Structure 1
Amino acid sequence: MPQLPRYEYTGPVDCSVPPDRKVLKDKSVIITGGANGMGEATARAFAAEGAFVTIADLDEIRGNEVAAELSPNAQFVKCNITSWEDQVAMFEAAIANSPHKSCDIVIANAGISRASGDDLWPLDDPNEAPVKPKLNIVNVNLIGTMYTWKLAVHYFRKQPDTDDRDRCFIITGSLVAWIDSPANWQYTSSKYGLRGLMRTARRNSHEQGIRINYVAPCYIKSAIRSAAYEAELISKGVEFAPPEDVAMCMMKLATDRTINGHSLMVTPRTVAKEGFKDVDMDDHADGYFKRNQEVQLNIIGDKWEPGWSKARTLEGANLRKA
């Protein structure tokens, strides 16, 4: 497997160094939510460099159109990421049809926003029975991405074990994982949760030769929004970034094997001339949080290896005696 060092904070990623595009040739890349928007832009960018891209999405019409345009460097697989079976089929197709029968880069991009409806937000009639909310946004954004992570780990470990193979997992998160976003309860919670997955997985990911990173887009231009709504957002201070800058951020992470455990933020060019920068807010330099982080790493020393079980840990042994 790829040999990676244990995660250690060494400062922010230097985003001024351009991606080494040539290393993408013949790599197998899975992009969930790859038929539209940021996912489509990323699929196009990677395929243009010779990567074989599996575009996974529910939008069959657009997904097949994009895959046909990018042929022979792309295929479309219909996939609902809340379905474990759909995702298994996605990974199997990616490996079966890629040049080296591999799975090198997985971009967990699929997600939905509060535009689909957030059932946590409505106020129910206090004189009536409470209404159980549907947690569709959490199920897609968080649970679906956890499925993608679990399967990526499995299929990464099955790929050809050669020096040129990478095991790279990228999560599409959001800037709201660092700021408050009123009335955006499920979406914000899910993006915080995904950031938490990255931050905790990075502590063991080297043991399986896997890199995991988080991409936090700001407001990105999208054909899904109406011109009127976009104009309203601009009038309230929103600066948009193009989806192509998301693609370049993904490419930076996918091509630089020294980057693990970082969050990169896609920003307007007025903020970062490359269109993205390291958030640099996922580590503690000193104080109480740093001390407790060190203690937590000492308490939970579990190795990420075959045969692990709760019963083998000190905590599990103590539970058995209780």
Structure 2
Amino acid sequence: MARLQGKVAIITGAAQGMGASHAKKFIDEGAKVVITDLNVEKGEALAKELGDNALFIKQNVTNAEDWATVVAETEKAFGQVDVLVNNAGITMAKSILQTTEEEYRRIVDINQVSVFLGMKTVIPAMQKAGGGSIVNISSMNGLVGGAIGYTDTKFAVRGMTKAAALECANYGIRVNSVHPGVIATPMVVQEDTKAAVEAFSKTIPMKRVAQSEEVSNMVLFLASDDASYSTGSEFIIDGGLTAQ
């Protein structure tokens, strides 16, 4: 039987990149999936491609009202919420001296506050469903240092995951974080960065970057009942980078 048969999932930032990969994997494994994003064109196209078990909803993940709408529309369309993948996020490669307060607050809102809002809004729906799984996408930079703003928010996602896992254990809701390293998404392997990424890949113990599907396989595991005793934990997909 498909590993997510009968489950309903919300995946944020899923119009493209890793989020789209997760959505496709979930559909293949029997789930009904709500894709959210600000990119309406790509989000609607992906939902159409995935068929009747997919629904696109435009969402600003930093807005509490949008979160309430997404959960309500998910329950209306598919009856319940079993899985949340907090995938939406941005990165910024500036030094602390170059980063403005406005830029810093924006990355905190998108990478950190959105995860809080998502969990806060989804937990009551999962309680009604009898349990669930929340998968928060952090980064290897939620374990080791990197760019200001991105690193701090990804560390925060890791901490929120642990706090929520402890609170939600009695509800039958599991909460885990996933920490990807360098992933071959269109943003990473575009022409102006391709050479730098290829050079960096030689420093990775496994001597390559990961494919999106390799991250999706981990997210699938955590969303499924196969991970029934895993909560409050970090799952690292970095080819050994943080082991060095």
Secondary structure of 2:85's aligned partner = strand
Q: Normalization by structure 2: what TM-score?
A: 0.89
Question: Residue 122 of structure 1 corresponds to which residue in structure 2?
Answer: 98
- State yes or no: 1:187 paired with 2:157: no
- State yes or no: 1:262 paired with 2:233: yes
Question: Residue 24 of structure 2 corresponds to which residue in structure 1?
Answer: 44
Q: Normalization by structure 1: what TM-score?
A: 0.68
Secondary structure of 2:144's aligned partner = coil
Secondary structure of 1:169's aligned partner = strand
Structure holding more helix per residue = 2
Q: For the Cα contact (< 8 Å) 2:34–2:74, is it kept in 1? A: yes
State how far apart, in whole Å, the 2-side matches of 1:133 and 1:89 are: 27
State how far apart, in whole Å, the 1-side matches of 2:178 and 2:153 are: 14
Question: Residue 28 of structure 1 corresponds to which residue in structure 2?
Answer: 8
Higher gyration radius (CA): 1
Question: Residue 207 of structure 1 corresponds to which residue in structure 2?
Answer: 170
Query: Percent identical across equivalent pairs?
Result: 27
Secondary structure of 2:2's aligned partner = helix
Question: Residue 245 of structure 1 corresponds to which residue in structure 2?
Answer: 214
How far does residue 119 in structure 1 lie from its aligned partner after superposition? 8.4
Secondary structure of 2:14's aligned partner = coil
Structure 1 unmatched runs, 5+:
1-20, 124-130, 273-278, 281-322
Matched AA of 1:249: M
How far does residue 132 in structure 1 lie from its aligned partner after superposition? 4.3
Q: For the Cα contact (< 8 Å) 2:140–2:238, is it kept in 1? A: no
Report the RMSD for the aligned CA atoms in angstroms: 2.1
Pick one of 197, 206, 216 that aligns with 2:179: 216
Q: For the Cα contact (< 8 Å) 1:104–1:168, is it kept in 2? A: yes
**Per-residue Cα deviation, 1:267-307 (whole angstroms, up to 9, x for no partner):** 34xx59xxxxxx99xxxxxxxxxxxxxxxxxxxxxxxxxxx
How far does residue 204 in structure 1 lie from its aligned partner after superposition? 2.5
**Per-residue Cα deviation, 1:164-215 (whole angstroms, up to 9, x for no partner):** xx4100100000111111xx11110000001011122222321222100000
State how far apart, in whole Å, the 1-side matches of 2:197 and 2:54 are: 35
How far does residue 158 in structure 1 lie from its aligned partner after superposition? 2.6
State how far apart, in whole Å, the 2-side matches of 1:132 and 1:203 are: 32
State how far apart, in whole Å, the 2-side matches of 1:30 and 1:73 are: 12
State how far apart, in whole Å, the 2-side matches of 1:67 and 1:240 are: 28
State how far apart, in whole Å, the 2-side matches of 1:120 and 1:80 are: 26
Q: How do 1:108-147 and structure 2 match up within 5 A?
A: 108-114=86-92, 120-122=96-98, 132-134=101-103, 135-147=105-117
**Per-residue Cα deviation, 1:24-70 (whole angstroms, up to 9, x for no partner):** 11210000011111100000000012210000001101101110011
State how far apart, in whole Å, the 2-side matches of 1:232 and 1:201 are: 37
Structure 2 unmatched runs, 5+:
none
Question: Residue 194 of structure 2 corresponds to which residue in structure 1?
Answer: 230
Secondary structure of 1:171's aligned partner = strand
Secondary structure of 2:149's aligned partner = helix
Runs of 4+ in 1 over 4 A off after TM superposition: none
Secondary structure of 2:230's aligned partner = coil
Question: Residue 140 of structure 2 corresponds to which residue in structure 1?
Answer: 175
